[in-house]
Amino acid sequence: MTARLPLTLVVGLALTAVFVAAALLSLVWTPHAVESLNIAARLQPASAEHLLGTDHFGRDMLSMLMVGARTSIAVAIVAVGIGMALGVPLGLLAAANHGGVIDDLVMRGNDLVFAFPALVIAILITAVFGPSAFNAILAIGIFNTPVFARVTRGGALAVWTQEFILAARVSGKGVVRISLEHILPNIASLLIVQGTIQFSLGILAEAGLSYVGLGAQPPLPSWGRMLADSQTMISFAPHLAVLPGLAIIATVLGLNLTGDGLRDHLDPRLRRRR
Amino acid sequence: MLSYILSRLVALALSLVVASLVIFVMIELVPGDPASFMLGLNAAPDTVAALRAELGLGGSPVERYLRWVGGMLQGDFGTSYTYRAPVAELVTARLAVSLPLALMALLLSTLIAIPVGLYAASRRGRPGDWSVMGLTQLGIAIPNFWFAMILVVIFAINLRWFSAGGFPGWDQGIWPSLKALTLPAVALALPQASILARVMRSAVLEVLGQDYIRTARAKGLSRRRTLTDHALRNALIPVLTIIGLQFSFLIAGAIIIENVFFLPGLGRLVFQGITQRDLIVVESVVMLLVFAVILVNFLVDIAYGLADPRLRRRS
């Protein structure tokens, strides 16, 4: 049993690492420049020159995928950052004020944001401010906020009942200090696991938004955009659609496996129950 | 129970008011005058003035908000200036595509997920369980619009069993329409089914740990009967809740999938509204979508309260 658990984590981390490494590498080096169009070399199959072939503008697919990884990962990370920066303080506040007005307000607000599907928020934002990667980040970030608020509140409520919190209160520490010094470190693992899951959801959301043209705008390569561009050529150049799809699947799968593996690893009670 | 329903109703009304305010303020935030925004920079001044009058842009923001909400309460969702038709009419026509699509996807995912989840739970820790868990992990990671494209390549382009997109309309007969919705519904159902199957599996495992299951086994009920008669029924309660909560994801997914298959549904309506800057359409359809999600969550709350009396007291 214990031998199987790290496997999820190892596979997940390995998959994630490949794409993070590809994204980082693309900052300094790609096999070919993605800005250079070479119509003469368009829609080529895989070769030694272009390991994964070329797209309809003759751009190297491998290079496009590497830069696309950068876009996806950047959007998802910033969106998770926004969600955490807003959601975690709200959740801590709600837990500290358990049963009070603030708690009620935060939870009602949460329900409300949950009622807006992320894509609908994105649609509203883009309808008003125009489509861009930045607005996609904003929309996904807003959607992440209630998730983190809820997880933080749930975790914090459990910690608040512990005896060492009582000791901290008796020693005269205020609510804010207790939240930051005692609650937050104790729910960190919970937040990391949720962060991983939101990260993967963010990648899927970014792909979806860019696919319908509400996310990253050309010439910025993004997996979602590559899929949208490939749609009209799918009957004679299926590799244009298959490759970005596989990249999305592998990254999301890697992150989800990492999240699950971490959760099982960090919470021994879950390990035994399964 | 009555006070529980009342408290949920108040919450429902409050959510709707706040949601409408959020949407209204967002649209108010459109830089400059909405009429000139909708018509573009090169519009003639008298065209802009005519549209302003048509949109009812006069009065304070409070008056405009009350007029918008008051109109919606009476079934008047404004008039689309691109279609030259009442938004309510457009929405009704589009719902005839979006609603069956969502229901088909929901039905399909439930029909797949419940037996699969039950099977995995009954094989806990064995290869059958692992493969189901692995496959569902994969199903969650696959973007539904990509899966839709692959389905088109296989079943529409190569096998020619289905058309690659478009919708014949219900007046052309039920079968052609259902056929046109099949691939989109399958694409939409895959991630939903994966998530649901996992929920189903853990719900069944949770139930199987209960004392009354041991009692049932002890009194001589077979494994299979225990699973179907006791575990299945009790596990369905959390699964139903998740189905309700998945509705909002289903709506979001449908918006994208409709664009893959060129289906004339609500999602396409919203996107055309955005590209043609038809803010009235965007505003009203987004409000309707949010209303649908809030309503479904309300119904789930009520159903849950009916099924679990402990929840009633807590609120």
pLDDT at B315: 44
The answer to whether residue B153 neighbours chain A at the CB level (below 8 Å) is yes
Task: Let me know: does B87 contact B76? Beta carbons within 8 Å.
Answer: no
Residue A201: closest C-alpha in chain B: B141
pLDDT at A268: 58
Of B125, B146, B282, the CB nearest to A127: B282
Burial class (CB in 10 A: 0-12, 13-18, 19+), A23: buried
Of A111, A119, A234, the CB nearest to B149: A234
| Chain A hits for B138, Cβ within 8 Å | 249, 253
The encoded tokens of residue A8 equal 């999820």
Interface of A with B in 201-240 (CB under 8 A): 204, 207-208, 211-212, 214, 227, 230-231, 234-235, 238
Of A124, A208, A252, the CB nearest to B286: A124
Residue, of B166 and A165, whose pLDDT is higher = A165
The answer to whether residue A104 neighbours chain B at the CB level (below 8 Å) is no
| Chain A hits for B26, Cβ within 8 Å | 124-125, 128
Region of residue A53 (left: phi > 0; alpha: psi -120 to 50; beta: else): left
φ, ψ of residue A130 to 5 degrees: the values are 90, 150
Put simply, the answer to whether A212 touches B273 (Cβ < 8 Å) is no
Query: What is the rounded CA–CA span in Å between residue B79 and residue B284?
Result: 10
Q: Does the pLDDT of residue A240 top 80, yes or no?
A: yes
ipTM: 0.84
pLDDT at A86: 95
Residue B30: closest C-alpha in chain A: A128
Ordered domains of chain A (ranges, CATH): 7-30+54-273 (1.10.3720.10)
Ordered domains of chain B (ranges, CATH): 16-87 (no CATH), 88-314 (1.10.3720.10)
Amino acid identity, position B176:
P
Residues in chain B where the model's pLDDT stays below 70: 31-34, 54, 56-58, 308-315
H-type helices in chain A, by residue range? 5-28, 61-96, 101-115, 118-129, 133-160, 163-170, 175-178, 184-211, 223-230, 239-266, 268-273
Which of A202-216, A247-261, B134-148, B267-281 has the lowest average pLDDT?
B267-281
Task: Let me know: does B25 contact B17? Beta carbons within 8 Å.
Answer: no
Average pLDDT over residues A55-72: 85
pLDDT at B116: 93
CA angle B304, B305, B306 (to 5 degrees): 90
In eight-state DSSP terms, residue B160 is -
Best A203, A212, A252, A264 residue to mutate vs chain B (most B CBs within 10 Å): A212
| Chain A hits for B273, Cβ within 8 Å | 127
Q: Give the pLDDT band of residue A248 (cuts 50, 70, 90).
A: very high
In order, the DSSP letters of A154-175 are: HHHHHHHTSHHHHHHHHTT--H
Query: What is the rounded CA–CA span in Å between residue B200 and residue B24?
Result: 39
Residue A126: closest C-alpha in chain B: B274
Q: Does the pLDDT of residue A118 top 80, yes or no?
A: no
CA A134 to chain centre: 15
Closest Cα in chain B, distance from residue A60 (Å): 21
Nearest to B205 by CA among B245, B170, B235: B235
Burial class (CB in 10 A: 0-12, 13-18, 19+), B276: middle
Helix or strand (DSSP H, E) at B51 = helix B45-55
Residue, of A269 and A184, whose pLDDT is higher = A184
In order, the DSSP letters of B99-159 are: HHHHHHHHHHHHHHHHHHHHHHHHTTTSHHHHHHHHHHHHHHHS-HHHHHHHHIIIIIIIS
Which residues on adjacent β-strands are paired with residue B80?
A: B85
10 Å Cβ neighbour count for A250? Answer: 15
Query: What is the rounded CA–CA span in Å between residue A63 and residue A59?
Result: 8
A29-39: pLDDT as tens digits: 888 877 777 77
- Residue B90: partners with Cβ closer than 8 Å, 6 or more residues away: B80, B83, B269, B281
| Chain B hits for A114, Cβ within 8 Å | 248, 297
| Chain A hits for B23, Cβ within 8 Å | 124
Query: What is the rounded CA–CA span in Å between residue B69 and residue B80?
Result: 16
Of B23, B149, B153, the CB nearest to A124: B23
| Chain B hits for A249, Cβ within 8 Å | 138, 141-143, 146
Q: Using only C-alpha atoms, what is the Rg of chain B?
A: 24
pLDDT at A1: 46
What is the pTM assigned to this prediction? 0.84
DSSP 3-state of A115: helix
pLDDT at A266: 77
- Residue A94: partners with Cβ closer than 8 Å, 6 or more residues away: A102, A103, A106, A107, A149, A153
Put simply, the answer to whether B274 touches A208 (Cβ < 8 Å) is no
Task: Let me know: does B238 contact B199? Beta carbons within 8 Å.
Answer: yes
Query: What is the rounded CA–CA span in Å between residue B314 and residue B282?
Result: 38
Cis peptide bond upstream of A219, omega within 30? yes
Put simply, the answer to whether B282 touches A248 (Cβ < 8 Å) is no
